[in-house]
């Protein structure tokens, strides 16, 4: 217990809901303030910048539509990462798993020869499986060979990135336009319907929300979810309790990688309709999803909300690029700042601040 | 090309390309020896690369660029140190945030500087007498960077410091058992701050070397994932500064090989070699079992707070 | 016991002014007042025992003196001058040294490196060399021989303790604080330690040793301060008191030293171990051919100083460690090297030594912890789903039956006190009528009330027909609870005796490595 002026600070053993929410909000606000400084340093009036962003994103239905569209892959990846983080599996590889899903979906769309009605479901299934496999490799490596999960998932991002580059410049190369390489365009049956007037491929959105609900259910009401949570909180207790570490890790990464793969399939079938260079498929969705999941603090349902927040940031990035002529990297800066403040403020959640001026206080 | 020439050029280029890996690894080894994991190496290198280029381009002095890069890297590392040591935040996430931030910031600031080659890059040097030795001469002593040689000397100095001095005992003890060091009056927080900042300084130099000598220019993403390789290398070389030389040269050779094999294999597939190699290398470490892992500092990755049970 | 006339400049006369004086020290943590206006003085040339149960506040008080905690109120005086000890560095500068219960050593480093850590005045290059020489000299003077070049993890617990003491002496400690020093020593090593303390008295040092063992106080101390619930109950010369009075002061009521238990009627075998062999985490042999039988309806106690293979024994039986050779047969089923889940499902209850690390998941709720090993059994789950209503019902039942103090079943388990956590673990493990109960240090660190309850629960299991394997460092506990006692030393069983015929001296010898002639493993 400490005294700072008229305030008394007491350390709590577990943070209250209100403290968590309040501190998270504070972190975001502080990040936005620092971002304002960066705007100012770039020669842009921050107030003007924020107004432009607001107008371009939240002030119109089209703006909202873009926010939602950007949030779709974040929802899927984010929910998957929430599950992985709950098992203390540091899946930094959502980016690669998303690309794996994109590759698989493209393969099905262009080469499978399936009849039209089966095309989209098959694409999504293939995307899920590809992402799942790409995610289970590091899981195996971690359990059997103790390979650090951060490094293995990250390295596989780069590996898959170059595989996509190779495909797009090599075997799957289609007609090139303006120096960029693409695969062939998908047939009509392999494209998702959009909400009229927007670019939202709503089927993927529904899938994403459904998955969020399913994962929330999984974590709280199933044996696997229970075992996942035990593994995530105390490996020693998990061993003692006879929980099969390998089984749980593989399942968790199957889900986490699979959901990212679904996101990749969604981007292919709903946005691009072709395989292209990785930087254009995923603008860092996989990495941003890490913050989405972190901010969601372990709740798949909360991840839907936080995904929208970061969808907003991505949409804002587009606006900034066009209206303010600042490069898209500013979103990375935003994201980094928010994450800094989030983790920096966590300690705050454990301190309860009370107003207790010295006169009234007789506590020691 | 005869095998002799092939060997010479491979080792020579391996040294060159291994230089940023060496500097980065030495820094991360020291940070992790104090018990702090810093995943922000990629971001710090990017910041180093950009600031070195910007300063060198505007002042015409590449050496000054490297110096500024070192300071910038240290400054970035300070953020990580503050978050993880003082605020006891999760070290892995903090490092990731630093990488995101560093890559983004350097990309943001670097917009106007792209595509223009550096006016006055750091010149390569050739060591006067040693360069004339047959085979070894052209392999090791021709057209290398002063930063390369400095890196090799630094590796030895850091090794001696780590194992044979009072500071080394302190640093290693803080990483193995901070509670023990604390009970003996060592300022654990200060040691960790210094180690992490040193890591940033060295990573900054690594990045600066890239933009001021190896490929004198600035492009966004020019660090190309090297920071992540550094983190894998730190484990692979068992947190030993001298072994870091071997690891860095190995991966430097790998990078060079991936360039050499281009006539036969698609360039993109070659580019993924180092990343796949990093995983394979770590898998081998895992196969080796408890032996290798014994090198990991006991308290690595765990924030320290006095009195917490 | 009168202190010897002091040597050196510390003047070891019993009536001289105190070396250290703590006055009115108060310290609180969230939810508990650890020290309540404590006043304590330590005189040069004396051995001062700080006596109290677990949780009485003794360690907290000494941690304050050593600078690990800051007091909320109170003053500290060293050699008559008021001092402000903000960190161990300040404490060391004031001449205060501390040997903690869990050694603060860097295990992979050498002895010399450990002593050299943070030491002022050593050369920058190669400090270890200088320290090695100094250690040899110091070791001779105080009779604490140790090899300065050895790596700490290779030393025995007693030798490691010597390193800790030398560390403090090397830094010029006038006052040495020892926290529960005999908990890792055999009776013989304890005797050696007391001789060292006497030597230190002669050299004019003062020693404060924290303990909860009355015998030690009577044997080694000049004065004793008894603490209870954060307050000092009394400070008096040991010559003017006895065990019974000290026990009463320590606990606040008359303490019964022996537990009454029913006659033992062993039935079929609950556990059979044949020639069990295993290695420890470092690859060194930990179990060298253990053969033992525990019958249903009996308690077999494993006595021995920690670190002689008890932990590995428990782990092998429960499936948490591979055995390199030998057999484990549980309730008639061969279960050597099977998974922990198989062993648990076979009816084995495991009360782990490390409550917080292994026994519970601190972040999960009480009710979630209550189903930890049985979550995959009906009624708690059907198919892949958990049945939360059943879990709740079981939790409410267990909380009532075992008197677990918790605001609600949904409280995170880490908020519970140590005693309640252990009750939770017992509630979980003992439900389902296990045939074999493996209990490792079950009452370690608990207050008297919880300790008594847990001992009663174990006896009740035995009376109900389960076999109980009890591993404990508390010899008194083993002697009072067990029907038969097996003593482990360096991975082997030195001998097995009937508890009713057990003699502490004989057991002590076995704990130190002398094999007993009698006793059969059955």
Between chains, do A223 and C372 touch, taking CB under 8 Å as contact? no
Q: Is B206 inside a domain boundary? A: yes
Do the beta carbons of residue C406 and residue C366 sit within 8 Å? yes
Q: Is B307 inside a domain boundary? A: no
C85 and C30 in a single domain? The answer is yes
Q: How confident is the model at residue C265 (pLDDT cuts 50, 70, 90)?
A: low
C446 and C368 in a single domain? The answer is no
pLDDT in tens, chain A (364 residues): 666 777 777 777 677 778 888 888 888 899 889 988 888 887 888 888 888 888 888 888 888 899 999 999 999 999 999 999 999 999 999 999 999 999 999 999 988 888 888 889 999 999 999 999 999 999 999 999 989 898 899 999 999 999 999 999 888 888 776 667 778 888 888 888 888 888 888 899 999 999 999 999 999 999 999 999 999 999 999 999 999 999 999 999 999 999 999 999 999 999 998 888 888 888 889 999 999 999 898 999 999 999 999 999 898 888 888 888 788 888 888 889 988 998 888 888 887 777 777 654 444 3
Q: What is chain B's mean pLDDT, rounded?
A: 89
Q: How confident is the model at residue C208 (pLDDT cuts 50, 70, 90)?
A: very high
Range of the structural domain that residue C47 is part of:
1-95+174-180+199-255
Contacts of B2 (CB under 8 A, 6+ apart): none
| Helix, strand and coil in chain B, % to nearest 5 | 70, 0, 25
Between chains, do C106 and B177 touch, taking CB under 8 Å as contact? yes
Q: Say whether B256 sits in a helix, a strand or coil.
A: helix
CA–centroid distance for A139 within its chain = 19
Neighbouring chains of A at 3+ CB pairs under 8 Å are B, C
Q: What is chain C's mean pLDDT, rounded?
A: 85
Between chains, do B94 and A343 touch, taking CB under 8 Å as contact? yes
Q: How far is C306 from C473, CA to CA, in rounded Å? A: 7
Say which CATH number the domain at C233 has.
3.40.50.300
Show me where the domains of chain A are located: 76-307
* pLDDT score at C7: 35
Range of the structural domain that residue B120 is part of:
3-293
Structure tokens at C206: 């003062």
Do the beta carbons of residue A153 and residue A91 sit within 8 Å? yes
* pLDDT score at C521: 44
C88 and C2 in a single domain? The answer is yes
Q: How far is C6 from C204, CA to CA, in rounded Å? A: 5
Is A350 in the C-facing interface, judged by CB distances under 8 Å? no
* Pairing status of strand C299-303 against strand C325-330: unpaired
Residue C274: which H helix or E strand, with range? strand C269-279
pTM above 0.90, yes or no: no
Is C333 in the A-facing interface, judged by CB distances under 8 Å? no
Q: Say yes or no to pLDDT of C47 above 50.
A: yes
- What ipTM was estimated for this complex? 0.86
C317 and C446 in a single domain? The answer is yes
pLDDT single digits (tens) B222-235: 898 899 999 999 99
pLDDT single digits (tens) C55-74: 678 888 999 999 888 999 99
Considering CB atoms only, which of C63, C92, C117 is closest to B181? C117
Q: How far is B150 from C61, CA to CA, in rounded Å? A: 52
Q: Is B302 inside a domain boundary? A: no
Q: How far is B89 from A200, CA to CA, in rounded Å? A: 37
The count of structural domains within chain C is 3
Between chains, do C375 and A224 touch, taking CB under 8 Å as contact? no
For C125-248, strand residue ranges (E) read 175-179, 206-211, 223-228, 231-237
Q: Check residue A113 and give left, alpha or beta (phi > 0: left; psi -120 to 50: alpha).
A: left
Q: Check residue C339 and give left, alpha or beta (phi > 0: left; psi -120 to 50: alpha).
A: beta
Q: Say yes or no to pLDDT of C14 above 50.
A: no
Q: How far is C377 from C382, CA to CA, in rounded Å? A: 8
Structure tokens at C107: 């295990």
Residues 337-376, chain C, touching A (beta carbon < 8 A): 339-345, 350, 352, 354, 357-364, 368, 372-373, 375-376
Please state the rounded mean pLDDT for residues B208-234: 90
Scanning the structure block, which residue is given the tokens 């996101």? A263
Q: Say yes or no to pLDDT of C340 above 80.
A: yes
Q: Which one is predicted more confidently, C519 or B143?
A: B143
Q: Check residue C400 and give left, alpha or beta (phi > 0: left; psi -120 to 50: alpha).
A: alpha
Across B22-36, C311-325, C385-399, C439-453, least confident range: C439-453
Q: Nearest-CA residue of chain C relative to B174?
A: C106
Q: How far is C242 from B168, CA to CA, in rounded Å? A: 51
* pLDDT score at C518: 47
Which chain A residues have a beta carbon less than 8 Å from that of C362?
Answer: 233-234
Considering CB atoms only, which of B87, B268, B282 is closest to A148? B282
* pLDDT score at C264: 64
Across B244-258, C76-90, C220-234, C254-268, least confident range: C254-268
Asked, as a colleague might, if the bond just before A17 is cis with ω within 30 of 0, I would say: no
Q: Is C125 inside a domain boundary? A: no
Q: How far is C450 from B183, CA to CA, in rounded Å? A: 32
Length of chain A: 364
Between chains, do B166 and C92 touch, taking CB under 8 Å as contact? no
Q: How far is A205 from C308, CA to CA, in rounded Å? A: 60
Q: How confident is the model at residue C522 (pLDDT cuts 50, 70, 90)?
A: very low
Across B50-59, B132-141, B271-280, least confident range: B132-141
Across A65-69, A300-304, B265-269, C27-31, least confident range: C27-31
Q: Say yes or no to pLDDT of B192 above 80.
A: yes
C384 and C244 in a single domain? The answer is no
* pLDDT score at B161: 95
Q: Say yes or no to pLDDT of C3 above 50.
A: no
pLDDT single digits (tens) C488-502: 888 899 888 888 877
Do the beta carbons of residue C290 and residue C472 sit within 8 Å? no
Q: What's the Cα-to-Cα distance from C135 to each of A209, A279, B168, rounded to whole Å? A: 67, 63, 20
What is the CA angle A92-A95-A101, rounded to 5?
130
C209 and C284 in a single domain? The answer is no
Q: Say yes or no to pLDDT of B196 above 50.
A: yes
Q: Nearest to residue B46, comparing CAs of B217, B230, B229, B208?
A: B208
Q: Please, what is the angle between helix A330-344 and helix A285-295, to 10°?
A: 30
C415 and C443 in a single domain? The answer is no
* pLDDT score at B303: 84
Q: How far is A59 from A364, CA to CA, in rounded Å? A: 53
C412 and C456 in a single domain? The answer is no
* pLDDT score at B308: 46
CA atoms within 13 A on the CB side of A18: 3
**Nearest-CA distance B199 → chain A (Å):** 18
C30 and C91 in a single domain? The answer is yes
C376 and C299 in a single domain? The answer is no
Torsion angle, alpha carbons of C494, C497, C499, C501, to 10? -120
pLDDT single digits (tens) C120-159: 888 888 888 899 999 999 988 888 888 999 999 888 888 9
**Nearest-CA distance C266 → chain B (Å):** 41
* Most confident of the following: B203-207, C116-120, C407-411: B203-207
Between chains, do C364 and A229 touch, taking CB under 8 Å as contact? yes
Between chains, do B279 and A141 touch, taking CB under 8 Å as contact? yes
Structure tokens at A285: 């969705």
* pLDDT score at C429: 93
Q: Nearest to residue B237, comparing CAs of B167, B303, B284?
A: B284
Q: What's the Cα-to-Cα distance from A320 to each of A55, A255, A314, A362, C515, rounded to whole Å? A: 11, 35, 10, 55, 82
Q: Nearest to residue B231, comparing CAs of B84, B32, B72?
A: B32
Q: Which one is predicted more confidently, C252 or A134?
A: A134
Q: How far is A190 from A274, CA to CA, in rounded Å? A: 10
**Whole-number percent of chain B with pLDDT over 70:** 96
Say which CATH number the domain at B134 has.
1.10.3470
Q: How far is C58 from C50, CA to CA, in rounded Å? A: 7
The count of structural domains within chain B is 1
Torsion over CA: C337, A142, A258, A84 (sign): positive
Q: How far is C470 from C479, CA to CA, in rounded Å? A: 11
């Amino acid at each position: 217990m400490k005294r700072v002026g008229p305030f008394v600070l007491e350390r709590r053993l577990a943070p209250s809901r209100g403290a968590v929410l309040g501190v998270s909000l504070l972190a975001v606000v502080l990040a936005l303030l620092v971002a304002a400084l960066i705007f100012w340093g770039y020669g842009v009036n921050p107030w003007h910048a924020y107004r432009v962003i607001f107008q371009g994103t939240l002030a119109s239905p089209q703006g909202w539509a873009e926010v939602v569209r950007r949030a779709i892959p974040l929802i899927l990846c984010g929910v998957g990462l929430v599950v992985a983080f709950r098992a203390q599996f540091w899946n930094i590889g959502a980016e690669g798993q998303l690309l794996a899903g994109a590759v698989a979906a493209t393969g099905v769309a262009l080469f499978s020869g399936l009849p039209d009605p089966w095309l989209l479901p098959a694409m999504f299934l293939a995307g899920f499986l590809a992402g799942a496999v790409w995610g289970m490799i590091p899981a195996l490596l971690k359990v059997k060979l103790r390979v650090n999960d951060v490094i293995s998932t990250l390295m596989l991002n780069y590996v898959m990135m170059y595989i996509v580059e190779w495909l797009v410049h090599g075997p799957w190369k289609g007609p090139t336009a303006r120096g960029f390489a693409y695969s062939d365009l998908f047939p009509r049956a392999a494209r998702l319907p959009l909400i009229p007037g927007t670019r939202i491929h709503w089927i993927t959105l529904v899938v994403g929300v459904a998955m969020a609900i399913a994962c929330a259910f999984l974590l709280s009401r199933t044996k696997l979810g229970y075992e996942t949570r035990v593994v995530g909180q105390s490996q020693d207790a998990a061993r003692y309790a006879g929980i099969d570490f390998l089984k749980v890790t593989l399942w968790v990464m199957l889900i986490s990688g699979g959901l990212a793969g679904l996101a990749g399939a969604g981007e292919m079938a709903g946005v691009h309709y072709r395989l292209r260079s990785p930087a254009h498929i995923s603008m860092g969705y996989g990495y941003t999803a890490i913050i989405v999941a972190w901010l969601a603090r372990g709740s798949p349902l909360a991840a839907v909300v936080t995904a929208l927040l970061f969808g907003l940031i991505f949409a804002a990035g587009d606006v900034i690029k066009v209206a303010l002529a600042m490069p898209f990297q500013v979103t990375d800066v935003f994201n980094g700042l928010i994450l800094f403040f989030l983790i920096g403020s966590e300690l705050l959640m454990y301190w309860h601040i009370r107003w207790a001026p010295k006169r009234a206080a007789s506590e020691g | 090309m005869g095998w002799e020439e092939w060997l010479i050029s491979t080792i020579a280029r391996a040294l060159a390309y291994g230089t940023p890996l060496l500097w980065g690894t030495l820094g991360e080894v020291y940070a992790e020896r104090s018990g702090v994991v810093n995943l922000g190496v990629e971001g710090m290198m990017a910041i180093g690369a950009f600031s070195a280029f910007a300063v060198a381009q505007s002042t015409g002095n590449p050496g000054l660029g490297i110096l500024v890069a070192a300071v910038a890297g240290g400054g970035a590392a300070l953020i990580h140190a503050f978050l993880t040591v003082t605020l006891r935040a999760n070290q892995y996430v903090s490092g990731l945030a630093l990488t995101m931030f560093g890559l983004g910031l350097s990309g943001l600031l670097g917009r106007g500087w792209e595509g223009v080659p550096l006016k006055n890059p750091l010149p390569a040097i050739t060591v006067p007498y040693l360069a004339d030795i047959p085979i070894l001469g052209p392999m090791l002593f021709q057209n290398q960077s002063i930063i390369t040689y400095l890196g090799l000397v630094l590796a030895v100095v850091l090794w001696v410091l780590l194992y044979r001095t009072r500071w080394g005992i302190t640093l290693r003890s803080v990483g193995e058992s901070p509670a023990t060091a604390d009970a003996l009056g060592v300022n654990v927080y200060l040691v960790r701050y210094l180690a992490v900042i040193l890591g940033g300084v060295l990573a900054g130099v690594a990045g600066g070397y890239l933009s001021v000598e190896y490929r004198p220019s600035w492009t966004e993403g020019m660090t190309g994932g090297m920071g992540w390789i550094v983190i894998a290398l730190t484990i692979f070389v068992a947190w030993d500064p001298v072994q870091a030389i071997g690891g860095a040269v190995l991966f430097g050779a790998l990078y060079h090989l991936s360039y050499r094999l281009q006539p036969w294999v698609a360039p993109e597939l070659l580019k993924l070699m180092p990343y796949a190699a990093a995983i394979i290398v770590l898998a081998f470490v895992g196969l080796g079992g408890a032996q290798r892992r014994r090198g990991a500092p006991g308290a690595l990755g765990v924030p320290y707070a006095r009195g917490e049970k | 016991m009168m202190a010897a006339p002091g040597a050196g400049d510390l003047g070891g006369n019993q009536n001289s002014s105190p070396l250290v004086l703590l006055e009115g020290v108060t310290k609180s943590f969230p939810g508990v007042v650890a020290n309540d206006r404590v006043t304590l003085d330590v005189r040069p040339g004396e051995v001062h025992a700080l006596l109290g149960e677990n949780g009485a506040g003794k360690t907290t008080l000494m941690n304050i003196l050593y600078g690990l905690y800051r007091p909320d109120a109170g003053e500290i005086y060293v050699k008559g001058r008021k001092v402000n000890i903000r960190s161990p560095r300040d404490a060391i500068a004031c001449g205060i040294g501390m040997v903690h219960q869990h050694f603060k050593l860097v295990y992979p480093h050498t002895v010399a490196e450990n002593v050299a850590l943070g030491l002022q005045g050593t050369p920058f290059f190669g400090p270890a060399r200088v320290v090695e020489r100094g250690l040899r000299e110091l070791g001779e003077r105080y009779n604490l021989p140790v090899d300065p070049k050895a790596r700490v993890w290779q030393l025995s617990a007693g030798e490691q303790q010597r390193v800790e003491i030398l560390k403090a002496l090397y830094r010029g400690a006038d006052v040495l604080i020892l926290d529960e020093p005999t908990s890792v020593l055999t009776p013989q090593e304890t005797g050696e330690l007391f001789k060292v303390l006497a030597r230190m008295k002669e050299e004019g040092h003062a020693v404060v040793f924290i303990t909860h063992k009355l015998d030690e106080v009577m044997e080694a101390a000049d004065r004793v301060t008894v603490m209870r619930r954060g307050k000092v109950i009394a400070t008096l010369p040991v010559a003017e008191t006895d065990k019974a009075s000290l026990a009463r002061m320590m606990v606040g009521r008359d303490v019964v030293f022996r537990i009454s238990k029913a006659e033992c009627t062993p039935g079929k075998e609950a556990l059979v171990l044949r020639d069990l062999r295993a290695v420890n985490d470092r690859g060194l042999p930990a179990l060298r051919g253990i053969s033992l039988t525990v019958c249903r309806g009996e308690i077999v106690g494993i006595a021995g100083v920690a670190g002689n293979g008890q932990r590995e024994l428990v782990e092998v039986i429960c499936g948490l460690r591979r055995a390199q050779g030998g057999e484990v047969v549980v309730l008639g089923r061969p279960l050597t090297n099977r998974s922990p889940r198989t062993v648990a499902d076979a009816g084995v209850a495991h009360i782990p030594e490390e409550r917080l690390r292994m026994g519970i998941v601190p972040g999960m709720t009480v009710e979630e912890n209550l189903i930890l090993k049985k979550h995959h059994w009906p009624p708690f789950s059907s198919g892949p789903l958990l049945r939360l209503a059943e879990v709740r019902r079981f939790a409410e039942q267990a909380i009532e039956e075992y008197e677990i103090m918790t605001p609600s079943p949904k409280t995170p388990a880490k908020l519970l006190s140590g005693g309640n956590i252990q009750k939770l673990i017992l509630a979980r493990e003992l439900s389902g009528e296990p045939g074999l109960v493996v209990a490792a240090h079950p009452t370690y660190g608990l207050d008297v009330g919880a300790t008594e309850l847990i001992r009663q629960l174990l006896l009740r299991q035995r009376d109900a027909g389960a076999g109980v394997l009890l591993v404990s460092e508390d010899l008194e506990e083993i002697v009072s609870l067990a029907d038969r006692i097996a003593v482990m030393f360096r991975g082997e069983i030195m001998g097995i005796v009937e508890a009713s015929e057990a003699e502490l001296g004989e057991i002590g010898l076995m704990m130190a490595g002398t094999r007993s002639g009698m006793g059969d493993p059955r």
